[in-house]
């Protein structure tokens, strides 16, 4: 009895799982993000203006460090960097605007991933933790430097006071 039941049960479970997979019902919820069309040059101008008004004067491997107030923050993406590096206030909420300036990349921000295509800016809400870092890394293969494409988002409270 069990000998004939077990194979049938396994195949039935497989057919149910297969139907769920093909219809997308087994997927988790994809992150919903805002998006808008954007020219790379005008987006870059916003990034530069942000750096001019909120830059700390420091840089990380040539990438300027910016300490923006809560609200809209602009980050340009290209092989193989996220610019600028951000310093955030603990617990503050930010709307992070991301635009790729060259090829397709993605931004894996902690456990969420957003695909970035040229010409389309994506906006994702980020609430800074009370301490530590928000991890941001490219998750779409984009060339030999892909694995090194890691941005820097530090929460200011995490830094030791000099």
Instruction: Give, as ranges, the residues between 70 and 129 that touch another protein (CB under 8 A).
Output: 103-104, 106, 108, 110-115
34 binds another protein (CB under 8 A): no
Q: Which of 101, 137, 157, 158 binds another protein (CB under 8 A)?
A: 137
Q: Would you say the C-alpha torsion 141, 23, 111, 128 has a positive or negative sign?
A: positive
Choice between 38 and 109, CB closer to another protein: 109
Q: How far is the CB of 20 from another protein (least distance, A)?
A: 7
Q: Among 127, 130, 119, which Cα is nearest to 41's?
A: 119
Q: Which of 55, 90, 129, 139 binds another protein (CB under 8 A)?
A: 139
DSSP 3-state of 30: coil
Calpha distance 22→16 (Å, rounded): 10
Q: How far is the CB of 140 from another protein (least distance, A)?
A: 7
130 binds another protein (CB under 8 A): no
Q: Among 43, 28, 51, which Cα is nearest to 123's?
A: 43
Tokens for 70, please give them: 């809560």
């Amino acid at each position: 009895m069990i000998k004939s039941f077990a194979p049938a049960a396994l195949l039935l479970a497989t057919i149910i799982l297969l139907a769920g997979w093909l219809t997308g019902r087994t997927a988790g919820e994809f992150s919903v993000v805002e998006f808008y069309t954007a020219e790379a040059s005008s987006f870059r101008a916003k990034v530069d203006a942000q750096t001019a008004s909120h830059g700390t004067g420091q840089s990380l491997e040539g990438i300027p460090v910016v300490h923006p107030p809560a609200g809209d923050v602009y980050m340009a993406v290209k092989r193989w960097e996220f610019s600028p590096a951000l310093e955030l206030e603990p617990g503050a909420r930010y709307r992070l605007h991301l635009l790729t300036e060259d090829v397709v990349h993605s931004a894996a921000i902690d456990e969420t991933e957003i695909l970035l295509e040229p010409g389309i800016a994506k906006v994702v809400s980020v609430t800074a933790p009370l301490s530590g870092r928000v991890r941001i890394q490219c998750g779409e293969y984009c060339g030999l430097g892909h694995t090194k494409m890691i941005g820097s988002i530090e929460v200011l409270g995490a830094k030791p006071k000099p």
